[in-house]
Structure 1
Amino acid sequence: MPVWERQLRMLWKLGEDRIELIVESLQVPPAQSLCRLFPGAAVDVYADGLMSYGPTRFRLDPQLGMRVRRVLHLDLVPGLEPLLLTEFGARVEVVPTEPFLKVLAELADATEVEAAGPPPALLLGQYLSALDLMTLAEEEELHVSMVRGAHALGHRELVFKPHPGAPAAYCRRAEEEAGRLGARLTVMAAPVLAETLYQRLRPALVVGCFSTGLLTAATLYGLPVARTGTGAVLAALTPYPNSNRVPLALVDALLPDLADAEAVRTWTPPTPEQVRAEPAALLTAVGFTMQPQILAARRPAAEAYLARHLTPRTRRYFTRRRLTALGLPGGIPAQLSFLPRSRAVRRVVRRMGGLRRVVS
């Protein structure tokens, strides 16, 4: 690594100057590689998506984590602070909305997207099948449900923004369903930011599964939004610490269901006070159950939330197996809550697991 550092300093004409690094995904290359190659550099981490609200994906080397000064994030859920890298005491700072929107406006001015006719309903694709969160057929059905839901709410002009990496035939069933219902669906084939479409089209409704673009639309642009399919993805999401769990939980908890017309029409973004009262506690509980070793200090807060707020509505964010393994409320019945903490019981379970593998 010292050889690489000297080589890069020579190639980039850095000399012996002090280096500061601003990176995004610190847990993986190339960001982590760059930080290791400049071991004396201070680090700022920026995160513009909903995943930044979740815990660090795995334990980082303290020699790296302790160098992080700040976690910079968009204020997508005012009143909610990210869990990312909090185990190292990193300072959380909000990226100011006004200059961020100014940059997006400059990008929008450079595009040729123009509004024509009444404001459409904008449907956001995410290419979830590429992430193994659902099959391609299931994702196509998800898009069909977006079309049906938007049509049921009275929208006849629809715009579908597919993921840039999705195949061309990806939205064919959605187009067929729109034609059957008598709606017009325009597929935005050009690679354009969702935020550019918000500014150019001023959509009457933005629909998605758990895209960060939903919160961008609601919080930064003041647009009506609705979610669909989050419950099904949550139920099938594996492994439990999958980093998509936090975006799913936040979108599911904060935004109205597309199938509930009254909720969509009357929904307003929660105030920071409301967020700090409920979604913040939910985030802490979900984050702790995902990474109990990294967020060990959050256990009392997670226990308090689960003891008071675990209902049929909130149980979808957790699995009984995970709560049982961590000895948390909502796992096995209270009178048996000592079992996960019992060394003898854990020893028997390990032996049974070993026996099962041998038999298999």
Structure 2
Amino acid sequence: MDATIAAFLLQDGLTTGAIYALIALALVLVFAVTRVIFVGQGDFVVFGALTLASLQAGMLPPTFWLLLGCAVAGCVLDCAIAIRHQHLWRLPRILLNYLLPSTLVWAALSAFDLRNLPGLAQVALTLLVVTPLGPLLYRLVYQRLAETSVLMLLIVSVALHIVLLGLSLLMFGAEGFRTEALSDVALTVGEMQVSLQSLMVIGCALSLIIMLYLLFGHTLYGKALRATAFNRNGAQLVGIPTRLAGQAAFALAALVGTCSGILIGPLTTLYYDSGFLISLKGFVAAIIGGLASYPMAAAGAFLVGTLESFSMFWASAYKEVIVFTLVIPVLLILSLKHSHSGEEH
């Protein structure tokens, strides 16, 4: 291996690591606010990339129907609860909150020639279609289980991922897709070419790392979100809307996942089931950060991406084994570093 090959592998590792960093940040974000280990985070990556691919092909994205179905289900659920408690005055507001966003998205998708839209407009439509799925899934799946144990929430997350995997196969089929690059510009550094797409991925990851670190560490709103995970009842007593906090966390996670799919789509072919492996590697990075530290999770993600890239060169058949084996010494170190607490009741 010469210096040029090493530099190319390092560039590829940092680009891949940036995607894993975004996934790890979303996992840490959701866990910090809701105590949910969100196994389905990678599904938002797939939804983002394949929705953009549908728009670039001039098709109505199938994820819109998933959005509409979730909105109708949430509307029916909240209306039933309002009727049961005889709060009929809430019905118009519930209908407006659930059905108006989907109607606006439908209007935006129907008003334009999707194939010939500018790239940024297609990206904006992708975000409008996929991001609302986050809070809707929280309302339908997790909100009523917020007081249960972390183990129960993990089991529910696995079940939700299996459902989303089946829906993804139904919506997009088994064929893989690769989106058009947002920019074809390449910069020459010595003997190596660095694509602007790769720099956008790394820049987006670093920007989100800084934003989330500042949000949760230095703002009152971020600390209020974290308080819902540490003591949900105490947070309610001091006036923190815990349901809104959970929905906000899932909305941010869906936004981050969708952005990840948009950024990685031109670099690799994504299939309906690609999200699970991406989530696992992001989870390895999140474990390195102890599911609590955004900078450490990001550093772990870049380590995972670089290790995977060099493993593909030296031992491509064992690259997955090498990456996932990394979690063993990390867990041992964390186990020795932190005292064991009693089983959660």
Q: TM-score range by the shorter chain?
A: under 0.3
Asked which structure has the greater RCO (Cα within 8 Å, sep 6+), the reply is 2
Q: Which has the higher helix share?
A: 2
Task: Return the TM-score normalized by structure 1.
Answer: 0.25
